[in-house]
Amino acid sequence: MLTKDRAVCLRCVDYSETSQVVTLWAEQAGKLAAIAKGSRRPKSAFDGPVEIFSFGSIVYQPARGGQLGTLTEFQQQPLFRGIRSSLYGLQCGLCAAELVEALTIPADPNPSLFESLIQFLTDLQSSAKPDDQLALLILFQLRLLQEIGLLPILQQCANCSNPYRGNWRTIFFAPDANGLVCPDCEAAYHDKFVLSRPATDALADLHRLRDSSHSARKEIEKFLLDHFTRLIHRPLKTASAILTRTS
Ligand SMILES: [Zn+2]
């Protein structure tokens, strides 16, 4: 049965001279992979080849029996063409797309994550400064973790619920506890690493992220990328481009 939805493209690969296989994040359907037959022809029902961040109304035949779905129509709106105007902004967008694809499963709808992704891409392309783009990416990554139920515990000790206070002499994060561990509990965790106070303050209270320094943002992003690497059991393709920016 043909189904209508709204979607943004997370990934696309050429399948033949004229077709593409696209991975979309759709408002009602969640993640779906489909073949777009003829999308690379000059005249098609897709308003030109599908690209990453292509956005618009889709009509598709859902996947059946292990087969790919079929995209039959894509009315593209030029909503996110501006993302390419900033290289770092584009890299932040690509990182978000890679994460959504890697951390979700097909046919598991999440309209709220669709809203968050659209809002993130909208904010990203209206933001010119790399440091602001990085802060937007951090907020989106935390939102994604929340949406999929894997948000780390960042306001209190994950072991004893002792609230995080600026007076903890050393702040550890323990992946096994998926959260901060306080000075009284840290000895129980072998696998742990230290977070700085400015980075932890911003993570514990996201309003502080706005006023955080470049080095705190970079530390938070490194922490999050390491966290994602553990979750998906491989490094992210986009990670080095996010972290190597020097300014
Ligand atoms: Zn504790």
Are 24 and 60 in a shared domain? yes
Residues 6+ apart with CB under 8 A from 39: 18, 19, 20, 22, 46, 48, 49, 50, 71, 74
Are 34 and 73 in a shared domain? yes
| 238 in a structural domain | yes
C-alpha 177 to ligand 1 mean position (Å)? 11
CATH of the domain at 239: 1.20.1440
Closest CA to 199 of 134, 146, 244: 134
| 158 in a structural domain | no
Q: What is the pLDDT of residue 170?
A: 94
Question: Residues lining ligand 1 (ion), CB within 5 A?
Answer: 157, 159-160, 162, 182, 184-185
Are 91 and 138 in a shared domain? yes
Q: Are 40 and 18 in contact (CB under 8 A)?
A: yes
Strand partners, 174: 179
Are 18 and 111 in a shared domain? no
Tell me how far apart the alpha carbons of residues 79 and 125 are, in angstroms, rounded to a whole number: 10
Its domain, for residue 208, covers 82-152+193-243
C-alpha 185 to ligand 1 mean position (Å)? 4
Are 67 and 126 in a shared domain? no
How many domains does the structure of the chain reveal? Answer: 2
Are 144 and 238 in a shared domain? yes
Q: What is the pLDDT of residue 245?
A: 72
Last residue of a domain, one of 37, 61, 77: 77
CATH of the domain at 44: 2.40.50.140
Q: What is the pLDDT of residue 219?
A: 96
C-alpha 173 to ligand 1 mean position (Å)? 11
C-alpha 140 to ligand 1 mean position (Å)? 28
Are 68 and 122 in a shared domain? no
Residues 6+ apart with CB under 8 A from 207: none
**207 — phi, psi (to 5°)?**
-60, -25
Q: What is the pLDDT of residue 165?
A: 85
C-alpha 157 to ligand 1 mean position (Å)? 5
Are 130 and 37 in a shared domain? no
| 181 in a structural domain | no
**79 — phi, psi (to 5°)?**
-75, -40
206-222 burial: b if 16+ Cβ within 10 Å, else e: eeebeebeeebbbbbbe
Tell me how far apart the alpha carbons of residues 16 and 193 are, in angstroms, rounded to a whole number: 47
C-alpha distances out from residue 4 to 11, 15, 28, 38, 173, Å: 20, 23, 9, 19, 44
64-83 burial: b if 16+ Cβ within 10 Å, else e: eeeebbbbbbbebeebbeeb
| 29 in a structural domain | yes
Give average pLDDT by consecutive 10-residue segment, the chain, 247 residues.
96 94 97 94 86 96 88 92 92 97 94 97 94 96 96 96 91 96 96 95 93 95 95 94 76
| 30 in a structural domain | yes
| 188 in a structural domain | no
Q: What is the pLDDT of residue 107?
A: 87
| 197 in a structural domain | yes
| 185 in a structural domain | no
What pTM was estimated for this model as a whole? 0.94
Are 86 and 37 in a shared domain? no
Q: Which residue has the tokens 């965790």?
A: 189
Are 17 and 72 in a shared domain? yes
Are 144 and 226 in a shared domain? yes
Last residue of a domain, one of 77, 108, 132: 77
Are 115 and 45 in a shared domain? no
Last residue of a domain, one of 44, 77, 110: 77
Q: What is the pLDDT of residue 46?
A: 86
